[in-house]
Amino acid sequence: MTRSPSSPGFWRSPLRGPRLTSVLGVVLLGGITVLFVTGLVSYAAYNPNLSPVNDKTPDKGILGFYLFSWPTDPHWLYRLNQGVHVTLGVTLIPVLLAKLWSVIPRLFALPPARSLAHALERISLLLLVGGALFEFVTGVLNIQLDYIFPGSFYTLHFYGAWVFFAAFIVHVVLKTPMALRNLRHLREEKDDLVSPRPDPPTVSRRGALWFVGGGSLLLFATTVGQSFDGLLRRTALLAPHGGADPGSGPNGFQINKTARYAGIDAAETTEDAWHLVVTGRTGTVRLSRAQLARLPLHSAALPIACVEGWSTSDQWWLGVRLRDLAALVGYDDDPPDVLVESLQRRGAFRRAALRANQVADPRSLLALYVNGEDLSPDHGFPARIIVPAAPGVLNTKWVARMTFGDL
Ligand code: HEM
């Protein structure tokens, strides 16, 4: 007689039980909290409240309560935050799937609600499981450059994160006491997760946990390399951008969007054709690349850190300080915010805003050279922005216009 999934006898694995579920739960408790916090920090790094051009989730309302002016120190801050967010997200996938597998009998348990409290708990479980799958799936699709989700990744992933984390908090409050009790008690308590008619074991619980841990280790080992240069980067087999060969020489480091993808017309970037247009309090100045190169040049060692989680080590940039450009248009001591516009015709951030603290930082440059050589077209020739601790998308390439003034 076939049993339905709602009858306890249907689930035959001897592995299921409160102890396995509690171990996986405690790992996710720490991991998902870090994912949520690094995700919120990733959003804050856009300075979304500075200008609508930086904000892909303008209707966030009170969900933006925590936002603050993004700092420029330490210069590797965003590199670390996004590297942790994406690498941890990928690494946790086996743990999440194992946890969902371990509690699947509960999803089919009948009656669906024994009381109002039980009904609310089950609804929070649906939001929890749905939210988890939604966040992990949209996250993975995004870093695999597979933009097949219905709508903007930013909005979906941001709101999905809040729904998921709210359900997660409810779940943690309800379940942690029992989970800790389960971990303290060696003997498995009687529980609806324990199969009344288990099949003979093929692996022990410890073996199953090693298997899950091994899966996480494998995903970690084939993802984390995207945050390092050299041979380590080659190990990032799962990272479409992160593991690709950037070529050699001074411009031989990782890029996100090529000049070709961005629709840059080389004829617009020649010495005769291209001028930087700088506007501010005292009017507008137009500067050719040669004129820019005759201004006082400064260097800074700064990484490129992409929102997709990959990053480069520090590169040596040489160029004009943003605050010196601000001074050319009337902001001698108090550099204001700036709106930067690019020649690019494709891509999310053709315009980006930088806050006054970013403009004022002496390491914030309009770079003309990198590692002792002219920028290559893919790295933003004739000139690009480089600011410490900023997400890659705000370090605008192929800069055409800069408008200084409070945004
Ligand atoms: C495999 C799992 C995950 C991956 C690969 C992933 C990937 C990403 C990426 C690439 C971004 C940057 C988006 C951008 O600025 O372009 C991001 C942002 C974010 N992530 Fe995740 N994520 C994952 C899981 C999660 C989870 C589980 C949560 C919540 C608990 C979360 C919360 C956030 C938040 C709040 C943001 C900021 C969204 C924004 O900038 O608009 N992520 N994530």
Torsion of Cα atoms, 296 then 343 then 249 then 74, to 10°: 60
pLDDT digits (tens, 9 = 90+) for 348-369: 889 999 999 999 999 999 999 9
**Residue 137, H or E segment:** helix 116-143
The one-letter code for the residue type at 22 is S
Cα distance between residue 385 and residue 339, in whole Å: 11
Cα distance between residue 195 and residue 189, in whole Å: 12
Q: Are 211 and 203 in contact (CB under 8 A)?
A: yes
CA–centroid distance, residue 156 to ligand 1 (Å): 10
Neighbours of 271 (CB within 10 A): 10
State which of 135, 223, 310, 394 you would mutate to test the pocket of ligand 1, scoring each by most atoms of that ligand within 8 A of its C-beta: 135
- Domains of the chain by start residue, with CATH: 18-221 (no CATH), 266-404 (3.90.420.10)
Of ligand 1's listed atoms, the one at least distance from the Cα of 40 is: 35
Ligand 1 proximity of 36 Cβ (cutoff 6 Å) = yes
Ligand 1 proximity of 319 Cβ (cutoff 6 Å) = no
CB burial class (10 A; 0-12, 13-18, 19+) of residue 174?
middle
CB-based burial, 45-60: b 16+ in 10 Å, e otherwise = bbbbbbbebbbbbeeb
CA–centroid distance, residue 39 to ligand 1 (Å): 5
Ligand 1 proximity of 142 Cβ (cutoff 6 Å) = yes
Q: How far is CA 319 from CA 68, 220, 292, in A?
A: 28, 37, 8
| pTM exceeding 0.85 | yes
Cα distance between residue 216 and residue 309, in whole Å: 17
CA–centroid distance, residue 132 to ligand 1 (Å): 12
On the question of a cis peptide bond just before residue 382, with omega within 30 degrees of 0, the verdict is yes
CA–centroid distance, residue 136 to ligand 1 (Å): 8
Ligand 1 proximity of 11 Cβ (cutoff 6 Å) = no
pLDDT digits (tens, 9 = 90+) for 137-192: 999 999 988 888 888 899 999 999 999 999 999 888 888 877 777 777 655 556 78
pLDDT digits (tens, 9 = 90+) for 102-149: 999 888 888 888 888 888 888 888 899 999 999 999 999 999 888 888
Q: What is the mean pLDDT of residues 398-405?
A: 98
CA–centroid distance, residue 241 to ligand 1 (Å): 17
Q: Which pLDDT does position 242 carry in this prediction?
A: 58
